[in-house]
Amino acid sequence: MKPQTPPQTYRVKSFGCQMNVYDGERMGELLAERGIQPAPEGEEADLVILNTCHIREKAAEKVYSDIGRLVKAGEEAGKKPLIAVAGCVAQAEGEEIMARAPAVSIVVGPQAYHRLPEMLDRAVNGERATDTDMPAIAKFDALPARAKRGPSAFLTVQEGCDKFCTYCVVPYTRGAEISRPFSHLVTEAQKLVEAGAKEITLLGQNVNAWEGEDEKGRRTGLGGLIRRLAEIDGLARIRYTTSHPNDMDEDLIAAHGEVAKLMPYLHLPVQSGSDRVLKAMNRQHTADSYLKLIEKFRAVRPDIALSGDFIVGFPGETEAEFADTLKIVDEVRYAACFSFKYSPRPGTPAATMDGQIAPDVMDDRLQRLQQRIGQHQYAFNQASIGKRCEVLVERKGRHPGQWLGKSPWLQSVHFEGDHAIGDLVEVTLAEAGPNSLKGMVAAAVRA
């Protein structure tokens, strides 16, 4: 490759989960430290980072078509962007990307992106650079301070997965479970609050597997971390995602009843309602043990909103087993859910299992599941009518004077008045749709 002029603008395109969004922000902060600015809306950037997701579907093909599009857009604009591929596809298929896509200068995995600036120097010199090492915690120590962002911020506290669900690629792309140290997280949370965050969502592939030592040297789990973060002045709300049922401990459950800043919302994927399927997925829990766990949360926090992830069409799934999934949806009465068609991931045990399900069967099951989930979501929203709650203002609405924010139960709420992004506004929930609610402002702003 020919040497290039150093980039002055960048754009990060993040796909997939919130952890990728967090990583994308942090890569941006690294570049900003180097004086590289976000490209203005509508302009081609000098450096484009495709921050990819490998969890489902034809992830790699999508990356190649995105690269092709970038090269074409660059040619039309009369410049050649530097292209970096980051994220989980980079981790899983870095070598192939370098071999197949000559336009790519940098391939960087999710545990190595703190070394992006050096890789960029090499790329500017005309070299191609690949780094898919997994140096565990080193990345976080090497990142710059948090930049100012919106009122709701992400904070990665845990990464990786040791569970090896048979459908999932994450243990291979993100590596083993690691927890960031307690003190680093308290500091980063304080910095986020100083930069304007009112709400922090703690992130991890198995966030509730987080463990560490508190300021007094005592072992503590996520509940202890949440209790400490709740002491930060100016931080109004704490959330966390994604949890695994087997990593729940009593202290975290109790925190939901005791810590006012911990929002009444829990994302706890179950994936299937059938014990046979759960076993084949290597989930290591049953439908019943999951339901018992949900009961414990409801006992300490009766209004808790529950959300989950589901996979339909796992190899061998029968119609009766799918019916068990619909049954668990009815039993839990979720406030929201994510549901997916099973997608065979290369290298995972389920990809070579017998009984792969035909696409039309998967389509049909997904549609029925989503319809059922939608009914419960709508019912949950309707049951919220009349409740008085705080809404964190996140952005302006479509109409003049209209604002959008989130209720404690993570519902989208729109309302009117003289407010600003980051305000906590007390509203009464007045009307409910399937995906959002209308609020009437009830009290003055708690900025």
Residues that bind ligand 5AD (CB under 6 A): 55-56, 167-168, 269, 271, 309, 311, 340, 342-343, 345
Q: Residue 273 region, left (φ>0) first, then alpha (ψ -120 to 50), else beta?
A: alpha
- Of the pair 210, 342, the CB lying nearest ligand 5AD is at 342
Which partner from the list ligand 5AD, ligand SF4, none does 345 bind, CB cut-off 5 to 8 Å by kind? ligand 5AD
Q: Read off the amino acid at residue 85.
A: V
Supply angle C-alpha 75, 76, 81, rounded to 5. Answer: 45
Question: Using CA atoms, how far apart are residues 231 and 212, in angstroms rounded to an integer?
Answer: 18
Beta-strand pair 37-38/9-14? parallel
Supply angle C-alpha 59, 63, 64, rounded to 5. Answer: 120
174 binds ligand SF4 (CB under 6 A): yes
Question: What's the closest the beta carbon of residue 161 comes to ligand SF4, in angstroms?
Answer: 9
Which partner from the list ligand SF4, ligand 5AD, none does 414 bind, CB cut-off 5 to 8 Å by kind? none
Contact residue for ligand SF4 among 30, 53, 185, 287 (CB under 6 A): 53
- Of the pair 20, 377, the CB lying nearest ligand 5AD is at 20
Question: Using CA atoms, how far apart are residues 98 and 106, in angstroms rounded to an integer?
Answer: 8
341 binds ligand SF4 (CB under 6 A): no
- Of the pair 36, 366, the CB lying nearest ligand 5AD is at 366
Which partner from the list ligand SF4, ligand 5AD, none does 281 bind, CB cut-off 5 to 8 Å by kind? none
Nearest in space to 416 (alpha carbons), one of 434, 431, 402, 404 = 402
Question: Using CA atoms, how far apart are residues 417 and 129, in angstroms rounded to an integer?
Answer: 51
Contact residue for ligand SF4 among 20, 208, 243, 274 (CB under 6 A): 20
Q: Please count the residues of this chain forming the interface with ligand SF4, following the rule CB under 6 A.
A: 14
State the DSSP H helix or E strand holding residue 395, giving kind and residue range, or none if neither: strand 388-396
Residues 6+ apart with CB under 8 A from 61: none
- Of the pair 170, 437, the CB lying nearest ligand SF4 is at 170
> x/- binding map, residues 75-104, to ligand SF4, per CB under 6 A?
------------xx----------------
Q: Collapse the DSSP code of 337 into the 3-class scheme (helix H, G, I; strand E, B; otherwise coil) and give the result.
A: strand
State the DSSP H helix or E strand holding residue 286, giving kind and residue range, or none if neither: none
Per CB under 6 A, residues contacting ligand SF4 are 16-17, 19-20, 53-55, 87-88, 169-170, 173-174, 205
